[in-house]
Amino acid sequence: MTEAVLELRDLHVTYRAAGVDVPAVRGVDLTIGPRDTLGLAGESGCGKSTIAGAVLRLLPRATRVEGEILLEGQDVLKLRPGKVRAVRWTTAAIVFQGALHSLNPVQRVGDQIAEAIETHARTRSRRTTTARVGELLERVGLPARRRREYPHQLSGGQRQRVLIALALACEPALLIADEPTTALDVMVQAQVLSVLEDLQRDAGLALLFITHDLSVLRSSCRRLAVMYAGRIVEEGPSGAVFDEPRHPYARALASAFPTIGDPASRYRPSGLAGDPPDPTALPTGCPFHPRCPVVVDDVCPSLDVRLRPAGPAREAACVHVGGDDDG
């Protein structure tokens, strides 16, 4: 069996704010194979970025990170800090949420990429590095000559491409893209998405793609995981999860967005009342039950159902999902 690029086993992450524990991720299992693409979706605050940060051990504020985070078989939670730095960017790299302004404004973009390359491969000559910078820029659809420009000379979409090139500088096996298109307009979003799709296909990257927009994930990812209140509540092949979601929350999320490629489709109301729960005061039983349109009153408020089989290669955490014959 081929080794997974990333495997999370029973991951728990807790923060502490204003004297109370904030359980942001509460037992997540997840596997991404080589060249695989997994989309992670869910409303604001459900724990998506926390998972991304945990994989690269970039959560200085977390008070508890438990479980296993296996990157190419190595548990990053067991690595010494020096070793973590070596793994970060070379095995897994991240394009951060809201990072469009994180480029150094007074340094040419090419020099910023060159620095990233040189930090991890000290033996390269300046000439090889410059060639590699040009290659990386071209790979994300920017002409090599733009390496001489400063961030303010680039548009938002172009800056996002530079950030992707930066993440690729050390040839990681896994790229985590956390809402890489959210701040961009629709046309530019589509261009950045196609860059990510090409990279995944041509460079053989594994991709963990995070967004709240399920319709983006349907076309870009092979598998789809939907999170709610710190847990995955549904996982399976993208088309199946998007077109026929089994968990009522996934259903609400899928119906909130139009289908890409279907000009007749409109944004439909999701029929979902209320806000996502406060992680410090989670509802009893199934955390989705107060908002659930198909809640079973004498069951769901007391029964916290975990993921169960929901059809071929699918799982969902709902009392209405019965098992293999149910898919």
Ligand X SMILES: Nc1ncnc2c1ncn2[C@@H]1O[C@H](COP(=O)(O)OP(=O)(O)OP(=O)(O)O)[C@@H](O)[C@H]1O
Residue 209 contacts ligand X per CB under 6 A: no
96 binds, among Mg ion, ligand X, none (CB under 5 to 8 A by kind): none
Half-sphere exposure of 52 (CA within 13 A, CB side): 25
In the bound complex, what is the minimum distance in angstroms from residue 297's beta carbon to ligand X? 27
Return the number of the residue (206 or 227) whose C-beta is nearest ligand X: 227
| Minimal distance, residue 212 CB to ligand X, in Å | 5
Binding segment toward ligand X, per CB under 6 A, in 48-56, 110-118, 130-138, 244-252:
48-56
Q: Per rule CB under 5 A, is residue 49 in the interface with Mg ion?
A: yes
**268 forms part of the interface with ligand X (CB under 6 A):** no
Contacts of 125 (CB under 8 A, 6+ apart): none
Residue pair 162/103 in contact (Cβ under 8 Å)? The answer is: yes
| Residues 105/107/113/117 CA torsion (nearest 10 deg) | -130
Provide, rounded to whole angstroms, the least separation between the CB of residue 242 and ligand X: 18
Q: Report the DSSP beta bridge partners of residue 40.
A: 210, 225
When the beta carbons of 44 and 125 are compared against ligand X, the nearer one is 44
In one-letter notation, the amino acid at residue 133 is V
Shortest reach from residue 28's CB to ligand X, in Å: 11
Q: Are the C-beta atoms of 208 and 38 separated by less than 8 Å?
A: yes
Measured CA angle at 46 (ends 92, 33), to 5 deg = 30
Query: Segment near Mg ion (CB under 5 A), from 41-49, 78-86, 214-222, 318-326?
Result: 41-49
- State the sign of the Cα–Cα–Cα–Cα dihedral 129, 130, 134, 140: positive
Q: How many chain residues touch ligand X (CB under 6 A)?
A: 16
Asked if 279 is part of the footprint of ligand X (rule: CB under 6 A), the reply reads: yes
Contact pick of 88, 212, 247, 251 for ligand X (by CB under 6 A): 212
172 binds, among ligand X, Mg ion, none (CB under 5 to 8 A by kind): none
Convert 153-165 to b/e letters by CB count within 10 Å (16 or more is b): ebeebbbbbbbbb
Q: Applying CB under 6 A, which of residues 39, 45, 245, 327 lies at the interface with ligand X?
A: 45
Minimum CB separation of residue 248 from ligand X in Å reads: 19
Q: Does residue 49 belong to the site contacting ligand X (CB under 6 A)?
A: yes
Closer to ligand X by Cβ: residue 39 or 279 = 279
Is 211 an interacting residue with respect to Mg ion (CB under 5 A)?
A: no
Q: Which CB sits closer to Mg ion, 207 or 286?
A: 207
CA dihedral 308, 306, 212, 200 (to 10 degrees): -50
- The Cα-based distances of 172 to 69, 161, 167, 185 in angstroms read 16, 16, 8, 28
Q: Rounded to the nearest 5 degrees, what angle is found at the Cα of 237, between the Cα atoms of 88 and 38? A: 10
Contact residues for ligand X (CB under 6 A)? 15, 17, 22, 24, 42, 44-50, 61, 97, 212, 279
Contact residues for Mg ion (CB under 5 A)? 48-49, 97
